Structure 1
Amino acid sequence: MQGIPVAGERVDELAAAIDLRDPSTILRFGAEAQNRAAAAADAMLGAARNQATGEAGEALSGLLTTLRGFDVTQLSEKPGLMGRLARLAGRGQTQAVAILQRYEGVRGQVEVIGDRLDTHRTRLLEDVERLERLYGATLEWFHALAEHIAAGEAVLARTDAEVIPAAERAAADPKDDLAPQKLRDLRAARDELDRRVHDLRLTRQVAMQSLPGLRLIQENDKALAAKIHSVLANTVPLWRTQLAQALAIQNMREASDAVRAATELTNQLLTANAETLRRGNAEARVELERGVFDLAAVQQANAALVATLEDSVRIAEEGRAARRQATQELAKAEAQIRRALSSANA
């Protein structure tokens, strides 16, 4: 039996059911166990064709592609020149608002794919349990085949060692005419049992090969289910956390920009106020430091006053000269009148 453990009582029971004189017992020998092993192979093939694994893999790949396509690290980068000009000009929305709008659309896709993945994970875990039961049943069928093979080999050994030699001795007796035919039938039944045992060995080999196949499918399903759980429990929350951190950093940057702008405006106002104060103070101090009269105005007024006095003296002198001239002219006129009167009287 090549080291295959078998139960002695069960082997004896199966061996007792074989009657080389009844061909039907040979045909039925191991048929049930053989059919059970075939059913196990069919079930394993059905598990291998299960579309849940393929669909889960596609959904997982789609989710990872969606997450990679939404790069939240863009928020950590400083905006370029055009972005800063657009922000200064007041065109469009802030980068954080745009990212949030994109996130709303991507979040819907992530939730849909996440629900599909959770469904696939449940189905995969159910398949793992079903394959575990199938593995146990296949192992039982494998042992059942081994028991049938052991029983058949025991019958063959007993037949070769005892039954056929006895039939050969009986066939050598010329008194029994049917003994040679019985020997031939016995040998044919023995060969038929040998072929039957060989078929059971082949079936047992198929069952043996199905056991690691079932384990392999189980391991793949468990690995994929664990991967889905890791993505749903770690990758998606980490992605959302990264998004939240990036948005917080972006909001902090925008707040810093606003504070910087306010500080710059305050500095501009302080500088402008100081400059205005300087100019006003200078103008006021100039006016305050001026006398009641400007020296130039006093000098001009003094020059005008001197000119006025000089004009008054000149005019007075001219008046006096004119009066003297007039007196002389009046005297001449008076003399002329007298002469004229004197001439008239004469």
Structure 2
Amino acid sequence: MSKPPMVIPPERVDELTKQIALDDPNSIIRFGQEAQGRATAAADAMLGAVRNEATGEAGDALSGLLATLRGFDVTKLDQKQGFMARLFNRAGAETAAILQRYEGVRGQVEAIGDRLETHRTKLMEDVERLERLYDATLTWFHALAEHIAAGEAVIERADKETIPAAEWEAEVGRDPLAPQRLRDLRAAREDLDRRVHDLRLTRQIAMQALPSIRLIQENDKALAAKIHSVLANTVPLWRTQLAQSLAIQRMREAGAAVRAATDLTNELLTANAEGLRRANAEARTEVERGVVDLESVQKANAALVATIEDSLRIAQEGRERRVAATKALGEAEADIRRALIAARPAGAPAGTAIRPSSGVSGRG
């Protein structure tokens, strides 16, 4: 069952921000690694769930059971040409043959039924394990969200406080190392921004894992319910139909040809009705399968929206980098101009600037 969204506690964000030091590159590299490491554990658990062969074996056993039941169809005996003639000549032999076949088929049905019950138990156990995996993945998702929020808080603080303060110190010029510290600070800020972006990608992976787990759960539950339905309804119904067919066979042995023909007609009508019911169920099942296509469209739409959002974000980041580069180039050009203006030869009086040489003597 789905859980309400978790609100990230501010104290948790404050705790995580303390792990980040812009003057320590290793702290940025290590930030969020533990939360990302849970991806491997979740992926291994997911692989263990999907590698479970219970689903495939259960489907094979279910198909085998249905094939066995269909292979022993008493109603088809009535469709053979000349059955009425054989009915009166060796009706007792027909009944004995049917009972003999029934004993052999019953053993097969019971064995397959036991296998199906075992598979159903395994499937329900898988459903419980997948529920635990879902909870673990959800915890992983929230941990990533906490780290992302902490990283964004540090980036915001750097943009509004730390970097502007370092820029002021560099512009004042009292400390010759201030420009280098400013550059290192900006580089650390960009490294942290990329680290937070990686965490966002990992969180997206966790978000995609959640519906995948639910889909596997739904399939397991649906197959387990189908097995239960077959064991509770199909097999008893098959035995009931067989008992009815044998009763009709014995009644024919003692009855008249008209009564036997009437029973045959009723049996054929019943078989046709059952065939219509099965055909209608199969047709309705195929019609309802359109829901899966809708889900695929929704997933594709979500992927397209995510792609557009990524494109917009990348473009915004490019614009921000270009603005920063333009500003840095302007500052570099201003520094060069100031250096040229301040340059003078040795012994020249203060305040006398050197005219830049143009390569012309000046006489003309």
TM-score by length of 2: 0.65
- Corresponding residue for 2:52? 50
Structure 1 match to 2:27: 25
RMSD: 2.4
In structure 1, the residue corresponding to 2:174 is in which secondary structure? coil
CA displacement at 1:72 relative to structure 2 = 2.5
Displacement of 1:78 after TM fit? 8.3
Q: Note the residue ranges of structure 1 that are not aligned, 5 or more in a row.
A: 261-346
1:184-223 alignment, distance < 5 Å: 184-223=183-222
Counterparts of 1:242 and 1:20, CA distance in 2: 79
Q: Which residue of 2 aligns with 1:183?
A: 182
Structure 1, residues 38-71: CA drift from partner, whole Å, max 9, x if none?
3223322332332211111111111111111110
Residue aligning to 1:330: none
TM-score by length of 1: 0.68
The one-character-per-residue Cα deviations of 1:73-103 (angstroms, maximum 9, x if unpaired) are: 246x388546635853x6x952221111111
Match of 2:167 in 1: 168
Asked if 1:97 is matched to 2:85, the reply is no
* Whole-angstrom CA distance in 1 between matches of 2:129 and 2:250: 52
Corresponding residue for 2:70? Answer: 68
What is the distance in 1 between the residues matched to 2:26 and 2:80? 88
Following the alignment from structure 1 to structure 2, what is the Cα–Cα distance between the partners of residues 78 and 176? 105
Give the paired residue count. Answer: 254
Q: Deviations for 1:286-319, whole angstroms, at most 9, x for unmatched residues? A: xxxxxxxxxxxxxxxxxxxxxxxxxxxxxxxxxx
Cα contact 2:87–2:253 (8 A) shared by 1:
no
Q: How does 1:1-346 map to 2 (within 5 A)?
A: 5-74=7-76, 77=78, 81=82, 84-85=85-86, 88=89, 94-256=93-255
Q: 1 CA distance for matches of 2:232 and 2:199?
A: 49
**Secondary structure of 2:255's partner?**
helix
Unaligned runs of 5+ in 2: 260-364
Following the alignment from structure 2 to structure 1, what is the Cα–Cα distance between the partners of residues 176 and 135?
53
CA contact (8 A) 1:15 1:155 kept: yes
SS at match of 1:159: helix
Contact 1:37 1:142 in 2 (8 A): no
Which residue number in structure 2 is paired with residue 340 of structure 1?
A: none
Verify the 8 A CA contact 1:171 1:179 in the aligned structure 2.
yes
- Take 1:23 and 1:126, find their aligned partners in 2: how far apart are those partners? 46
Retained in 2: the 8 A contact 1:41–1:207? no
Question: In the TM superposition, what is the alpha-carbon distance from 1:156 to its structure 2 partner?
Answer: 0.5
- 1:136–1:78 CA distance, 2 compared to 1 (3 A): closer
Name the aligned partner's letter for residue 24 of structure 1. N
Partner of 2:346: none
**What CA deviation, in whole Å up to 9, does each residue of 1:168-192 have, x standing for no partner?**
1122233312222211221121111
Rounded to whole Å, the distance in 2 between the matches of 1:5 and 1:208 is 16
Mapped to 2, the partners of 1:120 and 1:186 lie a distance apart of 60
Q: Give the Cα–Cα distance (whole angstroms) in 2 for the partners of residues 64 and 236 of structure 1.
A: 9
Amino acid at match of 1:140: T
Q: Secondary structure at the match of 2:172?
A: coil
Q: Which residue is equivalent to 2:307?
A: none
Residue identity opposite 2:34 in structure 1: E
Gap change, CA 1:164 and 1:82, over 3 Å in 2:
closer
Structure 1 residues 154 and 192: CA distance shift in structure 2, 3 A: same
Alpha-carbon distance in 2 for matches of 1:93, 1:253: 10
Q: State the alpha-carbon separation in 2 of the partners of residues 39 and 29 from structure 1.
A: 19
Higher normalized contact order (CA 8 Å, seq sep 6+, divided by chain length) = 1
Query: What percentage of aligned pairs have identical amino acids?
Result: 72
Distance in 2, Cα, partners of 1:47 & 1:11 = 34
1:20-41 deviations in Å (ceiling 9; x for gaps): 1122221221111111133223
2:11 partner amino acid: E
Q: CA 1:130/1:98 → structure 2, altered by over 3 Å: closer, same or farther?
A: same
What CA deviation, in whole Å up to 9, does each residue of 1:208-233 have, x standing for no partner?
00101110000000000000110011
Whole-Å separation in 1 of the counterparts to 2:58 and 2:80: 39
2: distance between equivalents of 1:182 and 1:79?
A: 97
Whole-Å Cα distance in 1 between the matches of residues 106 and 196 of structure 2? 62
- Partners in 2 of 1:193 and 1:85 — Cα distance? 89
